[in-house]
Homo-oligomer: A and B are copies of this chain.
Amino acid sequence: MIIGFIGFGKVSENLVRIIQSESIDFVTSTENRSPETIELIKKSDVTILESFPEVVSSSDILISANSPANALDVAKKYGEHAKGIYLDLNNVSPDTTSEISSYVNNFVDGAIIGKIDSDNPILYLSGKHADELLFFNEFMQVKVISDRIGDASLLKMLRSTYTKTLSALLIESRDLACKYDLEEEFIDMLTLTEGDDFRQKSLSRINNTLNSKKRKSEELKEIIDYFDDDLVMVKAALEKLNR
């Protein structure tokens, strides 16, 4: 079986690392790629083809793992030529996912949860053809949610709604505890009931959020626009990050 990648970044690199089987070969192309991407491709166990049309025509499964901004263009260009499954792993909204699916045969909506470069990322899938990818279970945890295109993307967005708002809450609470010089005690106290990894997880969430405040608040804005619901807590998180 041949799995082809359109877009080769952290996700593709790690899928090649995780999915190791004698019966699976990976292909991609360096056509019009950046020097960094070409270097990454060369370091990976993947066959380099002349062009992307060649990647598309030789792949049994095509994986689109690009930047969210390119996901739709890639689908328009290559989607109808895919021979088998077209798996979209871009971090796009359910609406964009639906639009993408209109240009693609055998479309599967995918979302990776957990860190892709960890040992246990989880692949969420939805769509009528999702079951055909269940053999990935041999290499990583795979969950098929439903046969509705968009459900995997939606679920990832729901998760992100929770975790990003939680980060804003963590920032506010931690700052308040700091003001009273009780930061350590506050985190220790919560660790007792919230689980042993609370400290490490929370501090990493706080730092990640503060280090990419602008991007996080753009993502929160997208979430608010998408759901078009009265999300009091999410809106407060956006306000918190914008201060």
A165 within 8 Å of B by Cβ?
yes
Q: A122-B192, A155-B182 known; A169 and B166 CB under 8 Å?
A: yes
In the assembled complex, the CB of A186 is this many whole angstroms from the nearest CB of chain B, namely 5
- Chain B residues, CB < 8 A from A239: 232
A172 within 8 Å of B by Cβ?
yes
Q: Is the CB of B180 within 8 A of A161?
A: no
In which size bucket is the chain A interface? 35 or more
Q: Is the CB of B185 within 8 A of A155?
A: yes
A168 within 8 Å of B by Cβ?
yes
Which residues of chain A (69-94) have a CB below 8 Å from chain B? none
Q: Is the CB of B145 within 8 A of A158?
A: no
- Chain B residues, CB < 8 A from A166: 166, 169
Q: A195-B195, A233-B236 known; A161 and B173 CB under 8 Å?
A: yes
A151 within 8 Å of B by Cβ?
yes
Q: Is the CB of A189 within 8 A of B159?
A: yes
- Chain B residues, CB < 8 A from A182: 145, 151, 154-155, 158
A100 within 8 Å of B by Cβ?
no
Q: Is the CB of B158 within 8 A of A162?
A: no
A176 within 8 Å of B by Cβ?
yes
Q: Is the CB of B233 within 8 A of A179?
A: no
List 19 A–B pairs whose Cβ atoms lie within 8 Å, in order of A's numbering.
A114-B192, A143-B188, A151-B182, A154-B180, A155-B185, A155-B189, A158-B186, A159-B186, A159-B189, A161-B176, A162-B190, A165-B169, A173-B233, A176-B227, A179-B229, A232-B239, A232-B243, A233-B233, A233-B236
Extra A-B contacts (19), CB below 8 Å, given A158-B173, A235-B236? A113-B189, A113-B192, A143-B188, A155-B185, A158-B180, A161-B176, A162-B169, A162-B170, A162-B190, A165-B169, A165-B172, A169-B169, A172-B233, A173-B233, A176-B227, A176-B231, A195-B195, A232-B240, A233-B233
